Chain A
Amino acid sequence: MSIERLFIANRGEIAVRIIRAAKELGITTIQAYSEGDADMLAVKLADESVCIGPAKATESYLNINGVVAAAIEKSADAVHPGYGFLSESPEFARAIEQAGIKFVGPSADTIERMGDKVAARQAAEAAGVPVVPGSKGRIESVDEAVEVAAKVGYPVMVKAAAGGGGKGIRIAENEDELRTLAPQAQQEAAAAFGDGGLYVERSVKSPRHIEVQIVGDGKKAVHFYERECSLQRRRQKVWEEAGADCLDDQTRENLCMAAVALAESVNYRGAGTLEYLYEESTNEFFFIEMNTRIQVEHPVTEMITGFDLVQEMIRVCGGESLSVSQDQVKKSGHAIEVRLNAEDPFMQFLPWPGKVERLKIPEGEGIRFDHFMYEGYQIPPFYDSLIGKLIVHGKDRTDAISKMATALESLEINGLKTTVPLHKALAKDPGVASGDFHTQWLEPWLEAGNLTPENT
């Protein structure tokens, strides 16, 4: 039986996105909201809504019992968790399943398995997906470290097995260096953790963040190509692209098919993303983790493939088979998304939860703006600072960057400070234009003073 009453256990722009997708499928939408979110756009757009508690997320959006009780009270037959909050909580998925309600995502068991780093790594290896090669477990001696390094290849990273906080981490380019550095790492680990055990793994140089979008129906899975999200600040993605122009066709095919193999091996249902580190100098990629939910940056994939991923995940989680086969997924052009946060980029990205006084949204062919604002809306201070995402689609990467620059010029959000100036500067930057960046590129770029009011 397909879904008729969908309960949205999330807020902000993703709640609006889910409501739009559900409406196009003819599904009745029920929006959950906290006392701090009573006037949010998703509440106005949904067919029905229900208050699930105080503004504080732990007492509303993160309160499993409260959310499940509200879904039951509203006779929902499915719950969409969005991203963040309870979207990757196996306890929440299990509670929903036990209430006889469909969870728009994989089973609680799959969420649990892929959420455990060791289990996810084992599942990836079993499906033939490369992981960062390293020692099987802790090692005790320098000779042992040298033996592992010879197998995994230099450079290697040596870290404390008891680990954490960057203590005891060394990178060795060759055996001589390893013989010098390993004892230092051991001493530092012993001093910091009272345990001199080490772990050795291949060091991935200047890693780029590449991820593959998949959707599965519990039996079959298809991929919707890859995205690159290497421009990050404090491990938060800032600017995302589809596809990743740094990949050659064969590497792209291997990366995407490895993702499908892993998804099928765990009988994956719903939308998911496999994240990889990519080392350009050796053309190698390594699985890091799987996100078992829809992601913030899914629109870039929708722009280049033409598929509605949120509708597809709702359909398969309602019990339907995938509506698309792999050979029907074609990509065209290049898409870029920038995350707009209510923060002051000239003041160390200080949060700026103001009131939206005037909103002018760029329009045109290949421009999309996913958000939850309206004029007069007071951005609540209780949740994360994402207020919207500007997405453009161009015929190639150069065209997409130029379209982004133009779209940013015609975007007006008055009444609050936003990260729009950062994106204007990035869209003009030669390093961004050449695509010559990696996950540790943006923070030094900011520290070097590349963002000034003059270049935005």
Chain B
Amino acid sequence: MAQVLSPLPGTFYMKPSPEAALYKNPGDPVAVGDTIGLIEVMKTFIEVKAEFAGTFSAYLAVDGVPVTAGQALAELVV
């Protein structure tokens, strides 16, 4: 198991826009550099990318809710 951590404090989103599908669903393959979610920090959106390859397991943070820097956002099976 490996965790994707938030690089910055802000608000976490698991979709590129409210109408869009989730970036990843359980069982999806994940390559290094794949976007897992977005962090909105000071009105700027920053993509959070996977640093490991593996299989997506689950989101650990809630969509649209504040997160702290270093907080676990998602879990992968590597």
Contact = CB atoms under 8 A, between A and B. Distances in A.
A433 to B, nearest CB: 31
B42 A385 contact: yes
Interface in A343-362: 343, 350-351, 353
Contacts of B8: 351, 353, 381
B41 A351 contact: yes
Contacts of B44: 350-351
Interface string A368-390: 00000000000001111100000
A341 to B, nearest CB: 8
B64 interface: yes
B11 A56 contact: yes
B41 to A, nearest CB: 5
B41 A55 contact: no
A383 B66 CA distance: 12
B16 interface: no
A36 interface: yes
A274 interface: no
A56 B64 contact: yes
Contacts of B66: 36, 55-56, 381-382
A313 interface: no
Nearest to A351: B42
Contacts of B42: 342-343, 351, 353, 381-385
A381 B41 contact: yes
Given A353-B41, A353-B42, A381 B9 contact: yes
Nearest to B67: A381
Contact of A383 (B9, B43, B46): B43
Nearest to A59: B64
B10 interface: yes
Q: Is the interface of B mostly helix, strand, loop or mixed?
A: strand
Contacts of B46: 350
Nearest to B68: A381
Contacts of A56: 11, 64, 66
Contacts, number: 38
B37 to A, nearest CB: 15
Which of A56, A343, A381, A383 has the most CB atoms of chain B within a 10 A radius of its CB? Answer: A381
Given A36-B66, A56-B64, A353 B43 contact: no
Contacts of B10: 353, 381-382
Interface in B37-76: 40-44, 46, 64, 66
Interface string A135-177: 0000000000000000000000000000000000000000000
Contacts of A351: 8, 41-44
Interface string B8-50: 1111000000000000000000000000000011111010000
A343 B43 CA distance: 12
A342 B40 CA distance: 15
Contacts of B64: 56
A293 B66 CA distance: 30
Contacts of A353: 8-10, 41-42
A199 B66 CA distance: 45
B70 to A, nearest CB: 13
B9 A384 contact: no
A138 B62 CA distance: 48
Nearest to A57: B43
B41 A384 contact: no
Contacts of A350: 44, 46
Nearest to B8: A381
Contacts of A384: 42-43
A11 to B, nearest CB: 13
A343 to B, nearest CB: 8
A383 B43 CA distance: 6
B42 to A, nearest CB: 4
Contacts of A381: 8-11, 41-42, 66
Contacts of B41: 351, 353, 381
A78 to B, nearest CB: 28
Nearest to B9: A381
Interface in A17-51: 36
A435 B40 CA distance: 36
Interface of B: 8-11, 40-44, 46, 64, 66
Given A353-B41, A384-B42, A384-B43, 4 more contacts: A36-B66, A56-B64, A353-B10, A381-B11
16 contacts: A55-B66, A56-B64, A56-B66, A351-B41, A351-B43, A351-B44, A353-B8, A381-B9, A381-B66, A382-B10, A382-B40, A382-B66, A383-B42, A383-B43, A384-B42, A385-B42
Interface of A: 36, 55-56, 342-343, 350-351, 353, 381-385
The 8 A-B residue pairs with the shortest CB-CB distance in the complex, in nearest-first order: A351-B42, A385-B42, A381-B10, A381-B9, A381-B41, A351-B41, A351-B44, A384-B43
